[in-house]
């Protein structure tokens, strides 16, 4: 759910009981703080993604660092770090690899850990690079079609089919 005042995810959900009617508000951390500020000091909530992100990115990073970081994009799905920061959602599984360094402090902040413990897929696919390749090829094919590069699109389609069939 998005904040009703901006594009960020709504992490605060407020039901106002004081007026003549019940009013429901869905706000991001920033707008919620604005909304709540004059009344009482905002309760220290559990770390929300937006809050943690803001905290992590404000600490020890200059504006230039941040601008440079924002420009970086995932070679597979094309999502930029800026986009992730805005939406709080990643673009594809490969983002965990390509933004690993940037995301590490964030993940530590949320989970207090960096290593998965627990269930693993039974079939244990060790190498998912083919799957990642598929995401990239499909995106390139869509772009090629949009740019009316039909020859390129058809080559890409053949590569996609080949990988899909190998996987079955």
Q: Minimum CB separation from other proteins for residue 146, in Å?
A: 10
Q: Which is nearer to other proteins, 59 or 113 (CB)?
A: 113
Residues 6+ apart with CB under 8 A from 7: 86, 87
Contact positions with other proteins (CB under 8 A) in 39-78: 45-47, 49, 76-78
Does 166 contact other proteins by CB under 8 A?
A: no
Does 1 contact other proteins by CB under 8 A?
A: yes
Q: What is the DSSP track for 67-84?
A: HHHHH-B-TTT--BHHHH
Does 91 contact other proteins by CB under 8 A?
A: yes
Dihedral sign computed on CA atoms, order 28, 30, 35, 41: positive
CA dihedral (39, 23, 11, 3) in degrees, to 10, reads -110
Does 119 contact other proteins by CB under 8 A?
A: yes
Name the one range near other proteins by CB under 8 A: 34-42, 55-63, 92-100, 149-157. 92-100
**Run of H or E residues at 12:** strand 12-16
**Run of H or E residues at 128:** none
Q: Minimum CB separation from other proteins for residue 63, in Å?
A: 24
Residue count at the site for other proteins (CB under 8 A)?
Answer: 53
Does 161 contact other proteins by CB under 8 A?
A: no
Query: How many CB atoms are located within 10 Å of the residue 135 CB?
Result: 17
Rounded Cα–Cα distance for residues 103 and 52 (Å): 11
The residues of the shown chain that bind other proteins, judged by CB under 8 A, are 1, 10, 13-15, 22, 24, 26, 45-47, 49, 76-79, 87-93, 96-97, 103, 106-107, 110-123, 125, 128, 130-132, 134-135, 138-139, 142, 167
């Amino acid at each position: 759910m998005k904040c009703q005042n901006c594009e960020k995810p709504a992490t605060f959900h407020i039901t106002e009981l004081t007026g003549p009617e019940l009013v429901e508000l869905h706000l991001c951390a920033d707008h919620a703080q604005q909304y709540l500020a004059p009344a009482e000091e905002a309760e220290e909530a559990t770390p929300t993604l937006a809050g943690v992100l803001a905290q992590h990115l404000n600490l020890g990073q200059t504006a230039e660092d941040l601008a440079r970081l924002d420009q970086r994009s995932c070679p597979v799905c094309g999502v930029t770090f800026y986009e992730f920061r805005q939406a709080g959602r990643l673009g594809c599984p490969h983002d965990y690899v390509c933004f690993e360094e940037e995301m590490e402090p964030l993940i530590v902040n949320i989970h207090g850990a960096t290593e998965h413990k627990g269930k693993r897929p039974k079939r244990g696919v060790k190498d998912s690079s083919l799957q990642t390749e598929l995401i990239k090829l499909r995106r390139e094919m869509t772009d090629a079609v949009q740019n009316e590069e039909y020859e390129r699109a058809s080559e890409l389609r053949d590569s996609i089919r080949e990988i899909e069939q190998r996987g079955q």
